[in-house]
Amino acid sequence: MRFIITKNYQELSQKAADLVIKQIKQKPNSVLGLATGSTPLGLYQNLVKVYKQGSIDFKKITTFNLDEYYGLAPTDKQSYHYFMWHNLFSKININPKNIFIPDGLIKKNQLKIYCQNYEREIKKHGGIDLQILGLGQNGHLGFNEPGFNFNSKTRLVNLTKTTILANSRFFNNKKIMPRQAVTMGLKTITQAKKIILLASGENKAKVIALAVKGQVTAKVPASILQKHKNTTFILDQKAVSLL
């Protein structure tokens, strides 16, 4: 594990963008694993900025998103499809054919095959070169909640109360927040060649300490990153206050 500690969120977003840009320059047809949530927003803004300056090309990039709420249409403002298009894809020259985000509207009886295909598609593209991760306050990665299997693949999962509470801030009405999601599994995530985990703020300090210094345990899904060969944690000072 490598650590980059930054003084604030702004610097964290800059460092993350520097690493993503380096990856794309080294391998213009990189396969990127992308995350949503508030933490990677600054990273995406920086990527858009650098793209507008003309110094980076996304034409050959392929992306796989970690997860999507089950039951939300891509046009729904709370969906991760909408998030990605609004914050990144519509602002860069990525080929829409190269964008993969789990479908939140897939019918239950087609889910199994759909999820197997998502995994197959990742493999077909040669695997994920660089996976960006945020972190749930309960240590979840994607929507892999505490207690889930380290060998898990892409599938439908139930969200925990902690996640529903934490993420309901994005929904006008808590009751309409989906209770399920389609997420890459922990195995899918840890098969990425490189991983960058971003965490900012005091509310992540406790879980960062557990993930980085604690036991590798399914109770803290992010602790599995201790076993990954090429993970960089980019953390701001508030997020490391308990380390």
Smallest gap, in angstroms, from Cβ of residue 223 to ligand GLP? Answer: 15
195 DSSP β-pair partners: 131, 231
The residues in 70-89 that bind ligand GLP, with binding defined as CB under 6 A, are none
- Nearest 5°: the CA angle 6, 10, 15 is 55
Output the six-digit token pair for 185. Answer: 């599994």
The residue range among 37-45, 92-100, 119-127, 219-227 that interacts with ligand GLP, by the rule CB under 6 A, is 37-45
Of 33, 102, 104, 136, the one binding ligand GLP (CB under 6 A) is 136
Rule CB under 6 A: choose which of 142, 178, 185, 221 binds ligand GLP: 142
- Shortest reach from residue 116's CB to ligand GLP, in Å: 21
Does 102 bind ligand GLP (CB under 6 A)? Our answer is no
Among 62, 98, 167, 188, binds ligand GLP (CB under 6 A): 167
Interface residue with ligand GLP, options 31, 34, 43, 66 (CB under 6 A): 66
CA 127 to the chain's CA centroid:
15
* Cross-strand bridge partners of residue 3: 233
Q: Does 38 bind ligand GLP (CB under 6 A)?
A: yes
Q: Per CB under 6 A, which region of 4-12, 51-59, 120-128, 136-144 contacts ligand GLP?
A: 136-144
Which of residues 60 and 165 has its CB atom nearest to ligand GLP in the complex? 165
Dist CA 139 CA 212 (whole Å): 11
Instruction: Tell the smallest beta-carbon distance from residue 188 to ligand GLP (Å).
Output: 13
Active site residues per annotation: 67, 138, 140, 145
Q: How far is the CB of 41 from ligand GLP (least distance, A)?
A: 8
Alpha carbon 117 to its chain's center: 19
Shortest distance, position 167 Cβ to ligand GLP, whole Å: 5
Q: How many residues bind ligand GLP (CB under 6 A)?
A: 14
Binding site for ligand GLP (CB under 6 A): 35-39, 66-67, 134-136, 142-143, 163, 167
